[in-house]
Amino acid sequence: EPEVTQTPSHQVTQMGQEVILRCVPISNHLYFYWYRQILGQKVEFLVSFYNNEISEKSEIFDDQFSVERPDGSNFTLKIRSTKLEDSAMYFCASSVRAGGELSGNTIYFGEGSWLTVV
Protein backbone atom coordinates (compact mmCIF):
# COMPACT_ATOMS: atom_id res chain seq x y z
CA GLU A 1 0.00 0.00 0.00
CA PRO A 2 1.36 3.47 -0.82
CA GLU A 3 2.54 5.43 2.17
CA VAL A 4 3.78 8.82 3.24
CA THR A 5 7.42 8.71 4.27
CA GLN A 6 9.19 11.15 6.55
CA THR A 7 12.81 11.87 7.37
CA PRO A 8 14.46 12.08 9.79
CA SER A 9 12.62 9.91 12.26
CA HIS A 10 14.29 11.77 15.12
CA GLN A 11 16.37 14.93 15.24
CA VAL A 12 17.98 16.74 18.12
CA THR A 13 18.89 20.36 17.51
CA GLN A 14 20.19 23.31 19.47
CA MET A 15 17.87 26.22 20.17
CA GLY A 16 18.16 28.85 17.47
CA GLN A 17 19.22 26.42 14.78
CA GLU A 18 17.33 25.89 11.54
CA VAL A 19 15.65 22.54 10.98
CA ILE A 20 14.21 21.02 7.81
CA LEU A 21 11.82 18.09 8.07
CA ARG A 22 11.28 16.16 4.89
CA CYS A 23 8.31 14.25 3.55
CA VAL A 24 7.53 12.25 0.46
CA PRO A 25 3.74 12.25 -0.01
CA ILE A 26 1.86 9.53 -1.86
CA SER A 27 2.64 9.97 -5.54
CA ASN A 28 -0.79 10.85 -6.98
CA HIS A 29 -1.79 13.09 -4.08
CA LEU A 30 -2.22 16.81 -4.61
CA TYR A 31 -2.83 18.17 -1.10
CA PHE A 32 -0.18 18.16 1.56
CA TYR A 33 -0.28 18.91 5.28
CA TRP A 34 1.84 19.27 8.37
CA TYR A 35 0.51 18.51 11.84
CA ARG A 36 2.34 18.39 15.12
CA GLN A 37 1.87 16.78 18.51
CA ILE A 38 3.61 18.18 21.55
CA LEU A 39 4.17 15.44 24.12
CA GLY A 40 1.01 14.89 26.13
CA GLN A 41 -1.10 17.22 23.99
CA LYS A 42 -3.47 16.93 21.05
CA VAL A 43 -2.41 16.54 17.45
CA GLU A 44 -2.65 20.06 15.96
CA PHE A 45 -3.01 21.26 12.38
CA LEU A 46 -0.19 23.49 11.14
CA VAL A 47 -0.63 24.05 7.43
CA SER A 48 -2.11 22.76 4.20
CA PHE A 49 -0.52 23.18 0.79
CA TYR A 50 -1.90 22.85 -2.71
CA ASN A 51 -0.74 23.91 -6.15
CA ASN A 52 2.53 25.27 -4.76
CA GLU A 53 0.98 27.57 -2.24
CA ILE A 54 -0.37 27.53 1.29
CA SER A 55 -4.14 27.03 1.29
CA GLU A 56 -4.68 27.26 5.04
CA LYS A 57 -2.54 27.73 8.12
CA SER A 58 -3.09 27.79 11.85
CA GLU A 59 -2.04 30.41 14.40
CA ILE A 60 0.89 28.19 15.30
CA PHE A 61 2.33 28.52 11.80
CA ASP A 62 4.04 31.87 12.26
CA ASP A 63 6.87 33.52 10.34
CA GLN A 64 9.48 31.10 11.63
CA PHE A 65 7.78 28.26 9.77
CA SER A 66 7.77 27.73 6.03
CA VAL A 67 6.82 24.93 3.65
CA GLU A 68 8.08 24.12 0.22
CA ARG A 69 7.72 21.56 -2.51
CA PRO A 70 11.19 21.85 -4.03
CA ASP A 71 10.66 19.15 -6.63
CA GLY A 72 7.98 16.77 -7.81
CA SER A 73 8.20 14.44 -4.85
CA ASN A 74 9.36 16.14 -1.65
CA PHE A 75 7.42 18.39 0.71
CA THR A 76 9.42 20.11 3.43
CA LEU A 77 8.76 21.97 6.66
CA LYS A 78 11.43 24.46 7.71
CA ILE A 79 11.70 25.96 11.15
CA ARG A 80 14.05 28.93 10.86
CA SER A 81 15.15 29.45 14.44
CA THR A 82 14.02 26.67 16.71
CA LYS A 83 12.68 27.27 20.21
CA LEU A 84 12.37 24.84 23.08
CA GLU A 85 8.59 24.80 22.60
CA ASP A 86 9.00 23.53 19.04
CA SER A 87 9.91 20.12 20.49
CA ALA A 88 7.20 17.82 19.18
CA MET A 89 6.33 15.01 16.80
CA TYR A 90 5.71 16.47 13.36
CA PHE A 91 3.42 14.54 11.03
CA CYS A 92 3.28 14.98 7.30
CA ALA A 93 0.09 13.97 5.51
CA SER A 94 -1.33 13.96 2.02
CA SER A 95 -4.61 13.44 0.21
CA VAL A 96 -5.95 13.27 -3.31
CA ARG A 97 -8.52 15.99 -2.69
CA ALA A 98 -9.07 18.56 0.01
CA GLY A 99 -12.34 17.08 1.14
CA GLY A 100 -15.94 18.15 1.00
CA GLU A 101 -18.64 16.53 3.06
CA LEU A 102 -19.44 13.65 0.77
CA SER A 103 -16.13 13.16 -0.97
CA GLY A 104 -15.02 10.40 1.36
CA ASN A 105 -11.55 11.82 1.04
CA THR A 106 -8.90 10.24 3.19
CA ILE A 107 -5.84 11.93 4.62
CA TYR A 108 -2.85 9.62 4.94
CA PHE A 109 -0.23 10.31 7.58
CA GLY A 110 3.44 9.49 7.79
CA GLU A 111 5.12 7.97 10.83
CA GLY A 112 6.26 11.32 12.10
CA SER A 113 9.53 13.09 12.84
CA TRP A 114 10.46 13.62 16.46
CA LEU A 115 12.11 16.98 16.95
CA THR A 116 13.88 17.67 20.22
CA VAL A 117 15.18 21.19 20.77
CA VAL A 118 17.79 21.52 23.52
Query: Quick one: 14 or 51, whose CB is closer to other proteins?
Result: 51
Q: How many residues does the chain have?
A: 118
Compute the least distance from the CB of residue 24 to other proteins, in Å: 13
CB 29 within 8 A of CB 92: no
In the chain the beta strands, taken as DSSP E runs, fall at: 5-7, 10-13, 19-24, 31-37, 43-50, 53-57, 65-68, 75-79, 88-95, 108-109, 113-117
Pick from 7, 112, 23: which is nearest to 67 by CA?
23
Residue 8 in the binding site for other proteins (CB under 8 A): no
Compute the least distance from the CB of residue 116 to other proteins, in Å: 15
Compute the least distance from the CB of residue 67 to other proteins, in Å: 14
- With contacts defined by CB under 8 A, name the span among 13-21, 48-56, 63-71, 76-84 that binds other proteins: 48-56
Q: Which residues bind other proteins (CB under 8 A)?
A: 4, 31, 33, 35, 41-45, 48, 55-56, 91, 93, 95, 98-112
